[in-house]
Amino acid sequence: MSATRPLAAPLENRTLRQQVADHLREEILSARLAPGSELGEVALARSLGISRGPLREALGQLAAEGLVTIVPRRGAVVKRLTRQEFIDAYEVREALESLAIKLAVPRLGAADKAELHHMCEQMERAGQNNDPDRFFELNRQFHARLVRASGNSKLEEVHSQLVAQMGRLMKQSLQLRGGIEQSVAEHRAILDAVDADDPERAARLLEEHIEVPQRVLRSLAAQEIFEQEEVPGNDD
Amino acid sequence: MSATRPLAAPLENRTLRQQVADHLREEILSARLAPGSELGEVALARSLGISRGPLREALGQLAAEGLVTIVPRRGAVVKRLTRQEFIDAYEVREALESLAIKLAVPRLGAADKAELHHMCEQMERAGQNNDPDRFFELNRQFHARLVRASGNSKLEEVHSQLVAQMGRLMKQSLQLRGGIEQSVAEHRAILDAVDADDPERAARLLEEHIEVPQRVLRSLAAQEIFEQEEVPGNDD
DNA sequence: CTCATGAAGATTGTTGACAGTCCACAGCAC
DNA sequence: GTGCTGTGGACTGTCAACAATCTTCATGAG
């Protein structure tokens, strides 16, 4: 019980496919690999110093996770969401988190609530410091924390996968809502309902909170987010 | 527009990995491959008449879909759900279908409603004929139809994947509820709300409908469903 | 008799090479 | 000049062999 990684990785048993999949997932989520980027197998394998076999398996896995699109005999590209797909994903995410908070509220202890409040304060501070990247990361952790607190592993799995797919776009959608102060206020309102052990009110507030970017996306000509980038592919 | 397969498969472009993945998925869903079955690569590849390469990619894809479990350097087995995982999946499914029916009701035309009623009648007939397999299949189609009618592709995708994971167990859980007549009555009640264009009532009824096996699973010592089968692996 | 040790067999992980397909571009007919 | 055709290159799909690891079983010490 004194291992450096007590959870889920007892030994360095990680196979190459897993390492490559994790690496590429991280590259995609961090936007170092832009949507639309073509993932040539030989070039990628060379740059990673491995063979094409494990790389192909990793790409297949990422395709099943919805992060890349594989066209038979044409290769793999980082998946690019249409506006409709993004709205659809938002709706599903709303339903998932609504369920999550209803399940989570009766299970939360004082320590959990305190931690959520702490995260909320950090988010406010990030807003004051004008650090949107940090705010985004904290926001992601806040929602992930709520979902995990539901105690429903499948829910957590589906949610994290969905958030990963929406990925980079969520960061930009953050700019579409009323600004960081508005978002922090909404989080506080949700936490109030959580403190009061009122799952229904918490769920309603959470749904409204998540709905904000959805409404903006529907109404506004927020096309720019999607229409943009034709992606140079490889710029040397 | 006169091709034999107008949708999604213009040519026989399907790659071996896809064919194998589809084949194995069908085998698992139809319970010809029981949960816990060990999927040895060499034996499987031989029986399919292919190499291990595409097979490994297909297995990786199915693992990402949650149908098989791959333990590094130990091989792949058909995933076996614990009771908790099954309950968790049921909760998520309930949230998804609740969202689906709320979205679907305002979009359904008279023809759609008629089709749903027709499916419901067929379910009743299957019950009278004491044909649980057919009833199960119709029930699956009924719910899938509702989800598709939501117009949310991501929702449909996540839902179908979840249903596939629950797969074979759902058939057995059908026996746990009040019997086929009870289930048909519940479907009729849902359709009444749909006919009345009342999304909230439809969603509430649907949630109660889905909750039935959940409650049974929680309370009852319905362990038998999960504790069973140690699975012979390969019987030649 | 029990448990540790080690070798043999079987299975998975990885690699490099071969085969087939798609795309781009040059050449030619009109 | 425009459009079709064929050839070349690059890429993906597939395969068979090699390497590494795990499991099993026999062997021997205590």
CB atoms B15 and A72 under 8 Å: yes
**Closest approach of A97 to chain B, Cα-based (Å):** 10
**Closest approach of B57 to chain A, Cα-based (Å):** 5
Nearest nt to the B42 alpha carbon by C1': C11
B13 CB and strand C closer than 7 A = yes
Q: Which residue is nearest to nucleotide D20 (CA to C1')?
A: B73
CA max distance for chain B: 57
Distance separating alpha carbons of residues A160 and A144, to the nearest angstrom: 7
Nearest alpha carbon to residue A51 among A19, A16, A76, A25: A16
A70, pLDDT greater than 90: yes
- Predicted TM-score (pTM) of the model is 0.86
B75 CA to D27 C1' in angstroms comes to: 29
Nucleotides on chain C that have an atom closer than 7 A to a protein CB are 11-17, 20-23
Both tokens of residue A63? 């395709």
pLDDT score recorded for residue A186: 86
A44 CA to D19 C1' in angstroms comes to: 23
User: Which residues, listed in sequence order, are joined to residue B52 by a DSSP beta bridge?
Assistant: none
Nearest alpha carbon to residue A103 among A206, A218, A199, A226: A199
Question: What would the pLDDT profile of A1-37 be if each residue is shown by its tens digit?
Answer: 333 333 333 446 789 999 999 999 999 999 899 999 9
pLDDT band at residue A226 under the 50/70/90 scheme: low
pLDDT score recorded for residue A212: 77
- The residue among A218 and A127 whose pLDDT is bigger is A127
Question: What would the pLDDT profile of B223-235 be if each residue is shown by its tens digit?
Answer: 555 654 444 333 3
User: How close are the terminal C-alpha atoms of chain B, in Å?
Assistant: 46
CB atoms A153 and B92 under 8 Å: no
Q: What are phi and psi of B66, to 5 degrees?
A: 85, 15
- The residue among A14 and A51 whose pLDDT is bigger is A51
A148, pLDDT greater than 80: yes
A77, pLDDT greater than 80: yes
B164, pLDDT greater than 60: yes
Distance separating alpha carbons of residues B46 and B234, to the nearest angstrom: 14
Compute the mean pLDDT over every residue in chain A, rounded to the nearest whole number: 84
B122, pLDDT greater than 70: yes
| Sheet bearing B75-78, strands edge to edge | B38-39, B75-78, B68-71
B-chain CB neighbours of A83 within 8 Å are none
Distance separating alpha carbons of residues A174 and A171, to the nearest angstrom: 5
pLDDT score recorded for residue B20: 97
Distance separating alpha carbons of residues A187 and A177, to the nearest angstrom: 13
A227, pLDDT greater than 60: no
A74 CA to D7 C1' in angstroms comes to: 21
What residue in B sits closest to A12 (Cα-Cα)? Answer: B72
pLDDT score recorded for residue A66: 95
What residue in B sits closest to A74 (Cα-Cα)? Answer: B13
